[in-house]
Amino acid sequence: MHCNGSCKKYKATSTSVDGGRYELGQKRCPECELFLNWEGLWCPCCGRLLRTKPRAKKVKKSKR
């Protein structure tokens, strides 16, 4: 499905002082291209599976 814009009300703000977005519990939707403050595993807007872990190697290594 496509983004219908209802995810904008769950949009997460960036705070680099507190740590990474995934450490703060934020999740990314690949369809809507937003970080969300959402408890579920599926995007409330388009229904796609949310990403809960970083993809970048350097970020993954710093998590260990």
> How is the chain split into domains, by residue range?
1-64
- Place 54 in a pLDDT band, splitting at 50, 70 and 90: confident
Mean pLDDT for the stretch of residues 2-12? 86
How does residue 19 score in pLDDT terms, banded at 50, 70 and 90?
Answer: low
Cβ atoms of 9 and 48 closer than 8 Å: no
**pLDDT at residue 6 above 90?**
no
The three-state secondary structure class of 10 is helix
- Residue identified by tokens 């219908």 is 4
Q: Which of 51, 57, 6 is nearest to 25 (CA)?
A: 51
14: nearest Cα among 32, 37, 31: 37
The confidence band for 41, taking pLDDT boundaries of 50, 70 and 90, is very high
Q: Is the pLDDT of residue 8 over 80?
A: yes
The 3-state DSSP class for residue 11 equals strand
